[in-house]
Amino acid sequence: MDQYRVEPGSSVDLSALDPSGGDALTCGKREGKAALRSLNVELESLQELLYAQGKHKILIVLQAMDTGGKDGTIRSVFEGVNPQGVSVASFKKPTETELAHDYLWRVHPRTPGSGQIVIFNRSHYEDVLVVRVHDLVPAERWEKRYEHINNFEQLLVDEGTTILKFFLHISKDEQKERLEDRLATPEKHWKFATGDLAERERWDDYQAAYESVLTRTSTEAAPWYVVPADRKWYRNLVISQVIVDTLNGLNMAYPAAEDGLDDVVVV
Ligand code: AMP
Ligand code: MG
């Protein structure tokens, strides 16, 4: 899965990365879905170990264009995982109180504690994405944020957090299909926001803003992965594999048992 990791210091051109996965697909759909099922089972026990050991903190950041599949990813990748140790923090349009503070103010309290996994559904990156595309603050302010963000993430890592960041890369055509599908399906109308059409008109500006994010904030401490996301099963597989590989790499162990358990009898 290293092929999807953005090498720190490299410059990202999204138009050169195929949202369908192209020839680089590591397997077919049937095989991929079966692999996802076993990764789910593995993730379930890794999460239990993480929780039991209570040492590591895991932060997973999901960013994507509208309809990019953040919600579906959370549903599929974390299916079966004990909800006690996993939570989702969604970042919407900031409230008045949030806007009255710096942009990381609302983010820091949502970061994971020891033994926890937290998934960011959107994140502090919106403050250099939507904010940049819509000129919500002057350029000289958002321009400084890439460095703040790198420093903030380094702080979290220095204090025991493992960070994984995923950009779900869909094509403009795939977004059209997904928006049309939402329009055509009454059960999906709640997900359709006419505002998404205005965002779609700014597709190129968003891609450019994402390229800056990926180029400037993929670090050794907190790398970005650009995930081909036109095929949902493949997107889920890539993300699941990266998370499982990363958790395995932590070499976790259950905490030592109390002394003398062998002699204990439950009466
Ligand atoms: P959704 O994820 O569809 O519920 O939409 C959430 C909306 O909140 C998106 O349109 C985001 O761009 C917007 N949003 C999230 N964070 C910020 C932010 N910091 N500033 C402005 N808008 C934001
Ligand atoms: Mg939306």
Distance in angstroms (rounded) separating the CA atoms of residues 199 and 92: 15
Residue pair 167/63 in contact (Cβ under 8 Å)? The answer is yes
Closest C-alpha among 171, 155, 156 to residue 64 = 171
CA of 49 to the centre of ligand 2 (A): 34
What per-residue confidence (pLDDT) applies to 1? Answer: 85
pLDDT at residue 152, as a whole number: 98
Shortest CA distance to 234 belongs to which of 25, 22, 47? 25
Provide the 3-class DSSP secondary structure of residue 18.
coil
Using one digit for the tens of pLDDT, what is the confidence trace for 6-62? 999 999 999 999 999 987 787 889 999 999 999 999 999 999 999 999 999 999 999
- Which parts of the chain have pLDDT scores under 70? none
Q: Please tell me the distance between residue 91's alpha carbon and the centre of ligand 1 in angstroms.
A: 6
Instruction: Tell me if 91 CB under 6 Å of ligand 1.
Output: yes
Model pLDDT, residue 27: 86
Give the residue whose CA is nearest to atom 2 of ligand 1.
Answer: 92
Q: Is 192 left (phi over 0), alpha (psi -120 to 50) or beta?
A: beta
Domains present along the chain, CATH in parentheses: 2-249 (3.40.50.300)
Of 227, 122, 211, the closest CA to residue 168 belongs to: 227
